[in-house]
Amino acid sequence: MAIDIDDEKRAAATAAAALVEEGMVVGLGTGSTVAHLIPALAARLLSISCVATSPATEALALAHGLRVEPFSGIGQLSIAIDGADQVDPRGWLVKGGGGAHTREKIVAGATDRFIVIVSSDKPVAALHPPVPLELMTFGLDVVLRRWPEVRLRQAPATPDGGVLADYFGDVADPDNLSARLAATPGIVAHGLFPPSMTSVVLVGRNGRVESVTPAG
Ligand code: 5RP
C-alpha cells in the first residue's frame, strides 16, 4: 500500500492537538504539518491563546477561530507544536525549510513542552545539508566570505527583515556546527535544534503515530 505522507502529517498533528489542555498558551509552528494541527486544535473548542511563528500560521489560526496573541507580554508558553525537516536518531532537528526557524527557535526555547510533529520521511539516519540560516543584511558579505558553504536562498526577507540562506557543508557533527554557526556575528539563527529542546517527537507512520523521546 502506498504511503500517504499528508495523512501521516495529519495523524501526527491530530495526536499533538490532543495534548493541548484548557487554558494553555500554545506556540504554533509553521509549515504543512502545522497546517493540519490548526484545524485539529480549533475542533477541540478549548479556551486557549496561541502565539504564531509566521504570518501564514497567524492567518490560518485566525481563520479557524483560534485566539492569537502577540508574543510580547507572554513570558512562557505551556506547549509549542511544530514540524521539522529532519530528525536524527539522537533527536537533533533540522528546521527552517519554510524560513521560519528564527521565530520557531525562540518559541521552542520559551515553552514548557516542545512537541515535534513529522511524517515518516523526516527521521533520518544522519543529518544532511542544507541547514537553513537567517542572516543580517548588515555585514552579509563578511558572513558569506567566512562561510563559503553558505548560499543565499531565493526567497523574500523574513518578517523580521532577515536574509534566508542555506548551509551546504558537512553536518556530521551537529554539536560542533551548531556552536560555530551560533558564534558567528551576522548569523541571526540557524536551523539546528538540539535534542534538549524537544520533549517528544510524534511520527505519523503508516496509519499509526509513534512517540519518540529524544535521547539527548
Ligand atoms: C518551517 C519549518 C517547518 O516546520 C519544516 O520546514 C517542516 O515543514 P513541513 O511541515 O511543511 O514538512 O521548520 O520553518
pLDDT tens for residues 161-193?
999 999 999 999 999 999 999 999 999 999 999
Would you say 13 and 118 are in contact if contact means Cβ atoms under 8 Å apart? no
Q: What percent of the chain has pLDDT over 90?
A: 96
Cα 109 → chain centroid: 11
pLDDT tens by residue, 9-27: 999 999 999 999 999 999 9
pLDDT at 216: 64
86 Cα to the center of ligand 1, angstroms: 9
Q: Is the pLDDT of residue 150 over 70?
A: yes
100 Cα to the center of ligand 1, angstroms: 8
The DSSP letter of residue 199 is S
Ligand 1 atom 2 nearest Cα: 96
Q: In what order do the strands lie in the sheet with 150-152?
A: 150-152, 163-167, 131-135, 187-190
Q: What angle do CA 23, 76, 91 make, to 5 degrees?
A: 105
- Cα distances (angstroms) measured from residue 58 to each of 30, 37, 48, 127, 162: 9, 13, 14, 30, 19
Ligand 1 atom 1 nearest Cα: 98
Q: Which of 22, 104, 134, 210 is catalytic?
A: 104
- Index of the ligand 1 atom closest to the CA of residue 32: 11
Give the mean model confidence (pLDDT) for residues 28-45: 98
84 Cα to the center of ligand 1, angstroms: 5
Cα(118)–Cα(97) distance, integer angstroms: 13
pLDDT tens by residue, 80-138: 999 999 999 999 999 999 999 999 999 999 999 999 999 999 999 999 999 999 999 99
pLDDT at 215: 80
CA-based nearest residue to 120, from 209, 20, 192: 209
pLDDT at 75: 86
The DSSP letter of residue 195 is G
Dihedral class, residue 207 (left if φ above 0, else alpha if ψ from -120 to 50, else beta): left
The DSSP letter of residue 53 is S
Q: Is the pLDDT of residue 206 over 70?
A: yes
pLDDT at 73: 84
Q: Is 104 a catalytic residue?
A: yes
CA-based nearest residue to 116, from 50, 193, 25: 193
Q: Is the pLDDT of residue 1 over 90?
A: no
The total of other beta-carbon atoms located within 10 Å of residue 115's CB is: 27
Give the mean model confidence (pLDDT) for residues 58-79: 95
| Ligand 1 residue neighbourhood (C-beta within 6 Å) | 29-33, 82-85, 95-101, 104
Summary mean pLDDT of the chain: 97
CA-based nearest residue to 197, from 132, 70, 109: 109
37 Cα to the center of ligand 1, angstroms: 12
pLDDT at 3: 78
The total of other beta-carbon atoms located within 10 Å of residue 29's CB is: 28
